[in-house]
Each structure stands twice: as structure tokens, then as C-alpha cells.
A and B are shown apart, each in its own frame.
Chain A
Amino acid sequence: MAPTAALDTTIAVVTPENIAFDYQLAGPFRRLPAYLIDLGVRWGVIVIVVVCLAFAGLIASFSGFGSFVLATGFILYFLISWFYGTVLETYFNGRTIGKWACGIRVIDTDGRPISGKRAMLRNLLRIADLAPLVALSSFTTDAAPIFFPTGMIGLLTMTCTRRMQRLGDLAAGTMVIVDERGWRLPVAKVDDPRVPALASFFPGDYRVSRSMAKTLAIYAERRHYLTPARRREIARHLAIPLIDRFEFRTDIDPDLLMYALYYRVFLADSSDEIADLGPLAGFSPLRRDQNKPQGLAGDLAIPTSPVTHPPVPEPTRRIAGGIPDADPLGKPIPRPQAGSEQLGSGQEAGTQQAVTRAEKQR
């Protein structure tokens, strides 16, 4: 196994189009219900056909029909119990009724669909996977001599093989994968006006690395499930080097910074940065502008401001990108009341207050 292969239940398949995609393997807990459903369906079909034939025999009532029904019952039982899976998997593209209901499918280990020969092998060998049989009479002495399959061999082989194959799968060279049906295309939408504003303060020539882009995307997808405090805690690991590098104010919200970077990498268009700043046009999150009177810079700060970084010397470097880092008109915007500067930590609450305050100032 390659050292980079993920330690999970996905398996990569290379298609004839020469691209590799991942399949998720189906484990015993997805396959057992499928098998039980198939068992029910099998017996249901047998019983229904035999009952129908018996009724037909009663209605027609000519002699010799009873034995015909009996023979049909025997042969049907034989065919269905041994070849149900084979036929369905061959003609139903690797699925039986139970597999279809549980959303799983049998495919070749190379990712190709299953062939009739393989389907037959894996279905005939199921009986070996269901071994050892346990007699009911070994538990209670007066029980009928009924044998129950325990399926231990199949379970053991499944846990020991990388593709979770039972013996029949190993012999036929097949594997069972999850056949996803319900899914949608996830696109994170940014509806916080502070995010594009903050994103415009990243230098224009800053390019994130591939792993950073991936991390940002995962963070943006996950942050909805986290509390604000937890978001800041997680985001701080990446945000602190960024704050140092781009000389942002040290009390800036790490979560917001990460989200802004995400916006910048995945969603923002380089042409329309300044247009949609709206009421937030006049502030700067940069450290050298910290002492200038600003309108809404406080929104970006952590509410409880627990930052304990040592003070860094004032930057001298000019930030590229031509982004206004101070009020473009040079007018000092009146600072809001001290009480309202420390805002609530919720994104939506913060956004709403920022917007209403901006309206008041007009």
C-alpha cells in the first residue's frame, strides 16, 4: 500500500478514461441487511408462486396437476435459492433487490461491472462464507435439528482483507461498494459583508498553497457546526502566522480572517473588490492604522480580546495590491460609543449591528 493512501474505507479505481476516482466500500453492517432482504424476497417469491400454482391446480382440477405443482416447487426452490443472486447481479448491473434497497453494488476489483461468471462464483460460494453452521440442538437438548449459519468465516475474511471481501468475493475478484444516491453539490455562500471587506486587505500577489486551499475549504464547510469560541480556537493556528505576516491588528477575529481568506481564494473575483464594500469602506484592520480613528474596525476584533502577543515593531513595508488601507477621503469617521464597540460574538448579530450602526452614521 502506498504510504499516501488514506486509512479509510475508500478504494481508488482507474477508469478506461485514465482518471482515478474513489469508491466507498460497503462493510458487513451494510451488507447484512441487504442479505436479509434478499432472503425475505427469495422466500416470498417461492411461496407466492407455489400458492398461485396450487390455486390454479384447484381451479383446473385435473389429475396429475398436484405432482406438477410439487415438482415446480422443488425446482423453483432449487433455482431461486442457488441462482437468485447470480441472475439479478448479472442483469441488474451488480445489484440484487436487497442491495438496491441498501444502496450497495457489486463491482469488479478493477472497477469494471461484474460479469456473469463472477456473479455465479461469488453467489455459489456464499454458503462457505455463511459457515460454520450451528445446530440449534447444541443449546437446548429438545430442539429440532435445525442448523443456523453463523457467517463467521465471511465476517473474518471481510475484516482481514483491504477491500472487505468475503471468500466468494476473493474467489470471483469482486468487491461491494456503496452506491451513493442522495447527494448534492456543496457550495459555501458568504453572506457576511465584513468578509469581502477584510478579504480586500490581503495583498493581491498572495497565493495560497494547495494544502492551505484545501484546509480553508474544509474549514469553511465545517465552521457552521462549531461554536464561535471553538471556531476562533481552531482558526488561530493558521491565523496568527497570517496576522504576523500581513501585519494585521493582533485583536482581529481569527475565524473571520480565515473565512475572509477562504472568500478571497475560492469566491472573490479580482475585478470587483472595492465595489461591494458598502458601509464598511472606511476601516482598516492593519496594525499601523490601529490608532487612527476608524468607524467599524472594532467589528473585526475578538469580543473579549484575549490576545497576548508581544508587540511587534511598526511595519515599514508597503502592501501591494493598491487596496485602500485607510479612509480614502481622509475624513475621520466618528468613533462609536465605547459600549457598542465590543460586539457579540455571533456572526449574524455582529453583521446586523454593523449594518444598523452604519445607517445611523449616515
Chain B
Amino acid sequence: MNVAKLLEKRRIQWSELERLCDAMEMRGRTDKSGFKHHQGAQGIARFSTLYRAACADLALADTYQLPPGTVTYLHRLVARSHNQLYRADKFEPKRWSTIIFETAPQQIFSDPCVRVATIVFFGLFALAMYLGRNDAIFPGFAERMVGDEQLAQLESSYAAPLQGSLDHYVSMSGFYIMHNTGIGLRCFAYGILLIPCLFSLAYNALALGTMFGYMARPDITGGDNFFEFVTAHGPFELTAIALAAAAGLRIGLGLFYTGGLARTESIRVNAMKAVPIMAASALLFTLAAFTEGFISPSPLPYVAKAVWSVLSSGLISFYFVVLGFPRDAGEFASQLPAGDQPDAA
């Protein structure tokens, strides 16, 4: 059989497949492609039959000695149908709960990047707080670090005791979600470049620590109000920033510490490992934002906020240590209390 006749014969099916592709691309369904036998399940069956036929034609193109133009056409037709037949995975809520409550804490517990990021963040935070507090020993540190204007603004905004109405909370909560989670996500994204991530993490630690230290000075007027405000949401938010940076560092580390893989492959593997950590961080950011919007500025007594703070710290510790403790055998986890497990690491 010569090529022209073969093409003439196959072309009918190819154009039918094209019309099915058109219909699928426009509506995601095979209906309304102009043929009666393309309704519903029948249409999908017809589509996959035609797709397989086109695949076979492409596979045999070399044997048939098809002209290159036709082969290009077939490549495109098959690629186009392939994109319609194999569609994107959707998010599955069930799998995400597994990631957040099982995979993420275990990875966080065993990941050295988390330790590095946590030490960098909280270490610098504590250091800056100490430096900012002791104006007598380190004069002018806070002013240079954060700036006079911003310190004055900070002081004035906490001069009055906390009180707000509901609409105030709502807008503040929205702002904090946007701003703080944005910082976290930026830390994460820059992690692949390592240096900007560490810089961003260190800068945020120093700036926050200095502000905390400055407000803790005995001669500052709004100090009590400030600490009343930050107590409730502090644990969530600071941990979330450190975690986001840790997830970013994990990707960036893949560039250098390849573990025997090719470099690009190593980045890919490490990025997949970073996703659960990032998901946990996003969860903490959300919790922090709502705490910050609704509990922190409310006129609740300080005790309530302190209790919430202790509770959230305990929750985070439980999440990291108990859920995250390395467990090799699943049955041991249910029998023994988590703390009593033999050290698997």
C-alpha cells in the first residue's frame, strides 16, 4: 500500500480524534464534538481507542516511511490527546491530612536543616533582644538596627492599653496573614539560593529581637501592653518563620549535598522532602494569624493570653516531638508511649 492511500485512510480517524480533542479542550467532555456516538462514556471510550490508534500510527511511522511533515503532525496530535487523556492530579484533602499529621512532624524532627534554621533564628533573636535591652552596655544598638522612626512608632502604638472592636480584629487579622505568611513564603522561596534565605531569616530575627529588647527596657512606656500583645501568637509565628526557612534550606542544600544523585535530581528530591515542612509552616502561620487577629488585641485578661501561649507552645512541642519521634515499626507507636520508645536514631 502506498503512503497516499494509507494517509487517506487514517486521516478520517485522525480528524475525528482532533474534533474530540477540540471538544475536550473547550469543555473537558467529549459531548458536542459533532458526532452522535461521542456522548458520555461512549465518547471517552472512542477517544481512547482513537488515541491508541494514533499512537500505533506514530510508532509505525518509520516503517511506513511517512513524510516528515506527517510525522510532525502525528507527534502533535498524540501530544495533544495525551494531555487530554492524562490530566492533572487534583489536591486530595485526605492525603494532605496524612502529610500534615504524619509525614511533616517526622521530617521536622529528623531534619538537620530545621535545627540549623531554628538555632539561627532563635539564637539571633535572643542575642538581639539582649543587645537591644541593655542600652547602657551597648548604647545605640537598637536605634541603628531598627531605626529611630520605627522605634518611636512602635512605642507610640502600644502606649494605650489594648482594646479593639470586632472590625478592628478582622482587618488586622487579614493584614497579618498577608504580611507574615508572605515573609515566611519568601524565606522558603529564597532557600533555594541559600544566602538570601539565611539573610532574610537573620534579618527578621535581629529586627524582631531588637524590638522585643527595646520594648523590654524599664523606661519604655508601652512595654507591658506590647508583651501582652505578642504573648499569645509569639510561639506560633516565630516557629512558623523558622520552619519556612528550614524548608527552603532543605532545597538549597540539595544543590550542594547531593548524596550521590545528579544535581538536578537532588534538588527535585529535596524539594519534595521540603513540601511537608512547608505545609506545617503554613498551618502554623494560619493559626498565628488568627490568634494575632482575634486573641492578641482583645481585652481578655493577661492570664488567658498566657494560658493560650503555653497551650500553643505545648501543642507545637507535642507535634514536633511526640508525632515526630522517629518510629520504624508502626505497631510500637500504638503500644508504647511515644517518649518511652527506644532511640531509633
Contacts and interface: CB of A to CB of B under 8 A. Distances in A.
A17 B67 contact: no
B37 interface: no
Interface stretch (A26-34, A229-237, A261-269, A322-330): A261-269
B79 interface: yes
Contacts of B192: 125, 128, 167, 171
B70 interface: yes
B272 A70 contact: no
B38 interface: no
Contacts of B170: 64, 67-68, 70-71
B55 A15 contact: yes
Contact of B68 (A94, A117, A120, A218): A218
Residue from B82, B175, B188 whose CB has the most chain A CB atoms within 10 Å: B82
A114 interface: yes
Given A64-B166, A128-B189, A221-B69, A121 B275 contact: yes
Nearest to B91: A116
A185 B14 contact: yes
Interface residues of A, number: 75
A66 interface: yes
B2 A267 contact: yes
A71 B82 contact: no
A115 B264 contact: no
B68 A214 contact: yes
A5 interface: no
Nearest to B28: A93
A318 B82 CA distance: 52
B343 interface: no
Contacts of B168: 67
A270 B51 CA distance: 31
**Majority DSSP secondary structure for residues of B touching A:** helix
Contacts of B178: 74-75, 77-78
Residue from B62, B167, B181, B191 whose CB has the most chain A CB atoms within 10 Å: B167
Contacts of A35: none
A266 B175 CA distance: 69
A340 interface: no
B112 interface: no
B182 to A, nearest CB: 7
Given A64-B166, A77-B178, A171 B267 contact: yes
Given A15-B82, A78-B178, A217-B67, A68 B167 contact: yes
B298 to A, nearest CB: 15
B193 interface: yes
Nearest to A22: B75
A214 B64 CA distance: 11
A183 B76 contact: yes
B59 interface: yes
A70 B82 contact: no
Contact of A66 (B4, B51, B167, B271): B167
A186 interface: yes
Contact of B58 (A19, A179, A220): A19
A127 B73 CA distance: 37
A125 B82 CA distance: 27
Interface string B54-84: 0110110010010111100111101110110
B65 A213 contact: yes
Interface in B170-201: 170-175, 177-178, 181-182, 185-186, 188-193, 196
Contacts of B271: 121, 125, 171-173
B241 to A, nearest CB: 15
Contact of A71 (B11, B91, B174, B185): B174
Given A67-B170, A71-B171, A217-B67, A112 B86 contact: yes
B268 interface: yes
Contacts of B59: 19
A22 B77 CA distance: 11
Given A128-B190, A180-B80, A186 B264 contact: no
Contacts of A93: 83, 87-88
Interface string A110-153: 01111111011100111110010000000000000000000001
A161 B264 contact: yes
B219 interface: no
Contacts of A73: 174
A72 B173 CA distance: 10
A179 B270 CA distance: 29
Contacts of A161: 264
B331 interface: no
Contacts of A267: 2-4
A19 B175 contact: no
Contact of A221 (B5, B67, B264): B67
B65 to A, nearest CB: 5
Contacts of B67: 186, 188, 214, 217-218, 220-221, 266
A70 B83 contact: no
B52 A17 contact: yes
B90 A131 contact: no
Contacts of B251: 125, 171
Interface string A166-188: 01001111000101100111111
A220 B174 CA distance: 65
B7 interface: yes
A58 to B, nearest CB: 16
A294 interface: no
Nearest to A270: B2
A281 B297 CA distance: 100
26 contacts: A13-B79, A17-B51, A17-B55, A19-B56, A64-B167, A67-B170, A70-B170, A71-B172, A74-B175, A75-B177, A78-B178, A78-B181, A78-B182, A91-B88, A116-B88, A116-B89, A120-B275, A124-B185, A124-B189, A124-B278, A125-B251, A128-B193, A131-B196, A171-B251, A185-B70, A213-B65
Interface of B: 2-5, 7, 11, 14, 51-52, 55-56, 58-59, 62, 65, 67-70, 73-76, 78-80, 82-83, 86-91, 165-168, 170-175, 177-178, 181-182, 185-186, 188-193, 196, 251, 264, 267-268, 270-272, 275, 278
Given A185-B14, A266-B4, 6 more contacts: A78-B181, A91-B88, A115-B88, A117-B275, A217-B69, A269-B5
